[in-house]
Structure 1
Amino acid sequence: MSTSELQHIFSAIDAVNAQDPNKTLIDNEEQANELLYGHYMSACLDQYWPQANELLQIAVRAQHIKRWHLKRTEFPAGKAGYLTWRKEQGKYHAQLTKELMLEHGYSEEQAEQTACILRKEKLKTNSDTQTLEDVACLVFLMHYFDAFAAKHTEEKIVRIVQLTWRKMSDKGHEIALSLTLPDHLAALVGKALA
């Protein structure tokens, strides 16, 4: 597909995510949370994986497409409920992205390949799936870690960082360690990795 096709699918994903009722204030302007997230994801991929193929670029942009549709509260409390919610989210993001890609001229094979990445299939053996996971972990550290850390105990934060670390590749680790985090967050990462 050409650059214009890629821009069309990005616009389609962004149009869905712009409908997010949850907003964040950036420079005194309200922005839809998942639209913002999609742009953070693409920017991270462009910066650290500039040679990423088109299907990976689409998967990265669509990682949280219409995430508000399946509410966490509709699933049981606790870890099992959380994991079920996450798995269902992945399936939903994959299906919605696949439908958009088919509408925009991508083949069934291309759309299904992208859906596989979004479902996080073959995490440690498919380099595209692994890169999506790395980008998601890095975006969390760069843009969401501070707010998350403010709401949780040090013990929980350290555990989350350790779990996140296990999902990342060596390249992901290298990039994460090169990030300039505020001192209090860098200290938490240091404790998690000690």
Structure 2
Amino acid sequence: MAGNKFENTIAAFDAINAEDPHMEIVKGKEMPKELLYGHRMTGMLLDFMPDASETLRLAARCQHIKRWEIPREDYPMDRKGYLMWRTKLKKFHGELAGQLMKEHGYGEAAIQEVDDLLNKRRLKTDPTVQVLEDVVCLVFLKYYFDDFIAKHRDEEEKLVDIVQKTWKKMSEKGHKAALAMEHSEEALGIVQKALA
């Protein structure tokens, strides 16, 4: 029954993310952006930590659930606005995930655990939160960094800074996984500069 509850909750997360109006093209096929992101998070988590707990697997899948509801443009386009937006998103993701988990039979303890993970509470002291943070960073580096480079090609300092900030958020194990990945030449050059 537990497996059922888990699978049904994952399916509920995916059903919501399938409503994302923003699309990405993968292997010539259109896919809703946040649905794709959820699947990439799951894949990366299972590579990085094959024995991840049920709550960690749930948190990875709903990391960006219904993110399009709260657009970045609704907040000031500065550091403060960015942080306000991120705080609002984490709260929103946690509440929505909790609601769906409850509907599918999860109790308060598991719901709280996923909420803590999504809100990155106790990041420096809870190894599970650190694993999720590592996976978020690895997914960014593997799937989204090259697009980010293309957008900010003439701002090398900014790109190096982003990699340094990403690196600071990661554990030693996360660093090793990031360095073991295949990167484009351009991305690798920026990573090497960031770590020099």
* Counterpart position of 2:148: 148
Q: CA deviation at 1:28?
A: 2.4
* Counterpart position of 2:102: 102
Q: Secondary structure at the match of 1:42?
A: helix
Output the CA distance in 2 between the equivalents of 1:27 and 1:171: 30
C-alpha distance 48-16 of structure 1, shift in aligned 2 (>3 A): same
Count of residues in correspondence between the two structures: 194
* Counterpart position of 1:166: 168
Q: CA deviation at 1:25?
A: 1.3
1:42 alignment partner AA: T
Output the CA distance in 1 between the equivalents of 2:117 and 2:85: 18
TM-score by length of 2: 0.97
Listed as ranges, the gaps of 5+ residues in structure 2 are none
Q: Secondary structure at the match of 2:25?
A: strand
Q: Secondary structure at the match of 1:4?
A: helix
Dislocated runs of 4+, deviation >3 Å: none
TM-score by length of 1: 0.98
Output the CA distance in 2 between the equivalents of 1:25 and 1:162: 29
2:192 to 184, 190, 193: 190
Task: Map 1:1-194 onto structure 2 (within 5 A).
Answer: 2-152=2-152, 153-194=155-196
2:25 alignment partner AA: L
Q: CA deviation at 1:14?
A: 0.2
2:74 alignment partner AA: E
Listed as ranges, the gaps of 5+ residues in structure 1 are none
* CA offsets 1:76-111 (integer angstroms, 9 cap, x no match): 120110011011111110110011000000001110
Output the CA distance in 2 between the equivalents of 1:166 and 1:84: 21
Output the CA distance in 2 between the equivalents of 1:148 and 1:111: 33
Output the CA distance in 1 between the equivalents of 2:92 and 2:83: 14
Output the CA distance in 2 between the equivalents of 1:170 and 1:125: 15
Output the CA distance in 1 between the equivalents of 2:109 and 2:46: 24
> What's the RMSD between the two structures over aligned residues?
0.9
* CA offsets 1:98-126 (integer angstroms, 9 cap, x no match): 11000000001110111010011011111
Output the CA distance in 2 between the equivalents of 1:173 and 1:63: 21
Output the CA distance in 2 between the equivalents of 1:184 and 1:102: 45
Output the CA distance in 1 between the equivalents of 2:21 and 2:49: 31
